Amino acid sequence: MVAIEEQDTADGPPVHVAIIMDGNGRWALARGLPRLAGHERGAEAVRRAVQACRETGIDILTLYAFSSENWKRPPAEIDDLMGLLRIYLRREIADLDSRGVRLRFIGSRNRLAPDIIGLIEESEAKTAANTGLMLVIALNYGARAEITRAAQRLAEDVAAGTLSPAAIDEEALAARMETAGIPDPDLLIRTSGEKRLSNFLLWQSAYTELVFLDICWPDFSKDYLEAAIDEYHRRDRRFGASRG
Ligand code: IPE
Ligand code: IPE
Ligand code: MG
């Protein structure tokens, strides 16, 4: 266990930043544009966010791109979002790779189109040995489903006789989550002014500092990242301990 002092927010940039990229639709609505225009500008904001995190010295960036509940949207909007993801991955893989970015996807691959699964596998394999920013994309991701699946894996191991119920602890569950091996987010940012987690990283964000920005995702820039980090530095992370 790392000493609490060593985890203080004063120690430089957060190691892991997670972002709920929300407000594309409202951005478009405010300008009399179709929602697709907001999602397109949102994809450009992703590029800026990745670059800003690299420049700021952040090690891990997790982006909530599509939730397991987003399938409730009209089919045409889902097609638009998946289309933009295709374009983003096709265009950006080589560039991200050349900048040393390591891509990883979390979320269920069921319901995803075969060519998107192909792009995911290709981008993960191609960038696996990179040592720069780790970019985690949460796609068709839902935290409750992730925790449920991890519980299922524990049950399978117990049934197989390779794990005793008494040996189930927090580490055992964490090791069966999709984020196994990735440290918990230090800072979670949500744009759009909405103040909820919407089924994102529920287990991992137990002690994450939450910052809510009143801008829509297409307007995100390095300035807002820095503002969120400034706010993070003003927080006093106690992890349940008392402070003298
Ligand atoms: C975020 O923007 C993009 C996704 C959830 C995929 P929204 O599309 O949710 O935008 P709002 O919340 O309707 O403004
Ligand atoms: C959360 O945003 C999901 C992503 C940003 C991908 P939503 O727009 O889906 O969340 P709710 O519906 O407002 O909670
Ligand atoms: Mg939204």
What does the pLDDT look like over 226-236, one tens digit per residue? 999 999 999 99
Task: Quote the ligand 1 centre to 146 CA distance (angstroms).
Answer: 22
Task: Quote the ligand 1 centre to 70 CA distance (angstroms).
Answer: 9
CB of 22 sitting under 6 A from ligand 1: yes
Task: Quote the ligand 1 centre to 153 CA distance (angstroms).
Answer: 32
Domain range annotation of the chain: 16-148+184-234
pLDDT of residue 10: 65
CATH 1.20.140.10, applies to 16-148+184-234: no
DSSP state letter for 185: P
Half-sphere exposure of residue 112: CA atoms within 13 angstroms, side-chain side: 25
> Residue holding tokens 């450009």?
44
Maximum alpha-carbon separation in the chain = 60
Q: For the beta carbon of residue 211, count every other beta carbon within 10 angstroms.
A: 20
The closest of 234, 192, 165, 166 to 64, measured between CA atoms, is: 192
191 and 23 in contact (C-beta within 8 Å)? yes
CB of 81 sitting under 6 A from ligand 1: yes
Over residues 182-200, the pLDDT tens digits come to 999 999 999 999 999 999 9
pLDDT of residue 26: 98
- Mark 23-33 as b/e (b = at least 16 C-beta within 10 Å): bbbbbbeeeee
CB of 70 sitting under 6 A from ligand 1: yes
As a whole number, the mean pLDDT across the chain is: 95
24, 46, 70: which to mutate for ligand 2, most atoms within 8 A of CB? 70
pLDDT value at 38 more than 90: yes
